[in-house]
């Protein structure tokens, strides 16, 4: 999967940018190049959807039924989700949200996101902590012009993010795609964390803790983005709530 978001839409943590990208032998690419390369490397079954200059989503369905994890794509009412992995407690979550048995993981994530956005009585971190399984997802809300991404705490699914040549944010489960797209300005997306375009990065396992950036050094001894983790010694003073009036105030680490 591949998701690209314009720098005016998403501002990642500053530590994701690496000065070494400017002098790297492999230059970072522009979004149109990244998307074209992804589609050309999967010519028979890849598809993409664009949202003007704001965002692009691309997806390759699993080629075999017994792949390591599911890849799902879904769009409902201008909310789009790419989902990787599986939810162990999907049936109980569907009952909790009043959804039909035929609802898959991507559809559920959209409904959970929409509930949080419009009328959610719970903080986003609590909703994610109720989910059991190995998963990662990216949601783009075309109406609100916002992005919501998360990665399960068990680290069973991998996601990576980085910064393209024009400052756009690139997210993929394919490390090769990220490396070729973002030069040295990339990192693993932190497990047990969520990111929202308006409020930044936070841990849903330790929602009261601030996020801390740890320098990453590659095999060449060059700084390469940053790893992010919850600093359990720090505390956020006010626990935010999620809802339309709260404006998705997640209280995370802003860029």
Q: What is the pLDDT of residue 250?
A: 40
Instruction: Give the 3-state secondary structure of the chain.
Output: CEEEECCCCCCCCHHHCCHHHHCCCCCCCCHHHHHHHHHHHCCCCCEEEEECCCEEEEECCCCCCCCCCEEEEEEECCEEEEEEEEECCHHHHHHHHCCCCCCCHHHHHHHHHHHHHHHCCCCHHHHHHCCCEEEEEEEEECCCCEEEEEECCCCCCCCEEEECCCCCEEEECCHHHHHHHHCCCEEECCCCEEEECCCEEEECCCCCCEEEEEEEECCCCCEEEEEEEEECCCCCCCCCCCCCCCCCCCCCECC
Residue 153: inside a domain, yes or no? yes
Q: Cα–Cα distance between 178 and 155 in angstroms, integer?
A: 18
Position 67 scores a pLDDT of 60
Q: What local confidence, expressed as pLDDT, does residue 249 receive?
A: 39
Whether 43 maps to a domain, the answer reads yes
Q: Which domain holds residue 169?
A: 2-234
Residue 255 falls inside a structural domain: no
What does the pLDDT read at residue 117?
A: 86
**Residue 227 resides in a domain:** yes
Tell whether 86 is covered by a domain: yes
State the total domains in the chain: 1
Per-residue confidence in pLDDT tens, the chain, 255 aa: 999 999 989 999 999 998 766 655 578 999 999 999 999 998 889 999 999 999 999 999 887 665 667 899 999 999 999 999 999 999 999 999 999 999 999 999 999 999 888 876 567 888 898 999 999 999 999 999 999 999 999 989 999 999 999 999 999 999 999 999 999 999 999 999 999 998 899 999 998 899 999 988 877 777 888 999 999 887 766 554 444 444 443 434 444
Q: Does 186 fall in a domain? A: yes
Q: Is position 243 within any domain?
A: no
CATH number for 88:
3.60.20.10
**Residue 64 covered by a domain:** yes
């Amino acid at each position: 999967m591949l998701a690209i978001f314009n720098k005016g839409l998403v501002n990642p943590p500053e530590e994701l940018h690496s000065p070494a990208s400017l002098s790297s032998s492999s230059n970072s690419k522009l979004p149109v190049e990244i998307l074209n390369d992804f589609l050309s490397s999967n010519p028979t079954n890849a598809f993409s959807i664009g949202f003007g200059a704001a965002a692009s989503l691309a997806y390759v369905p699993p080629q075999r039924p017994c792949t390591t994890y599911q890849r799902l794509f879904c769009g409902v009412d201008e909310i789009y989700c790419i989902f990787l992995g599986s939810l162990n407690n999907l049936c109980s979550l569907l009952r909790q949200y009043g959804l039909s048995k035929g609802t898959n993981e991507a559809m559920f994530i959209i409904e959970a996101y929409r509930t949080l956005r419009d009328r959610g009585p719970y903080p986003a971190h609590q909703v994610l902590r109720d989910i059991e399984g190995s998963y990662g997802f990216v949601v783009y809300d075309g109406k609100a012009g916002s992005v919501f991404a998360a990665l399960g705490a068990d680290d069973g699914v991998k996601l990576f993010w980085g910064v393209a040549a024009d400052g756009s944010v690139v997210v993929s489960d394919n490390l090769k795609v990220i490396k070729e797209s973002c030069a040295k300005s990339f990192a693993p997306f932190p497990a047990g964390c969520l990111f929202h375009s308006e409020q930044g990065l936070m841990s849903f396992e330790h929602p009261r803790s601030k996020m801390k950036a740890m320098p990453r050094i590659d095999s060449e001894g060059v700084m390469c983005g940053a790893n992010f983790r919850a600093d359990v010694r720090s505390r956020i003073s006010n626990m935010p709530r999620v809802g339309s009036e709260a404006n998705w105030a997640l209280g995370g680490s802003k860029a």
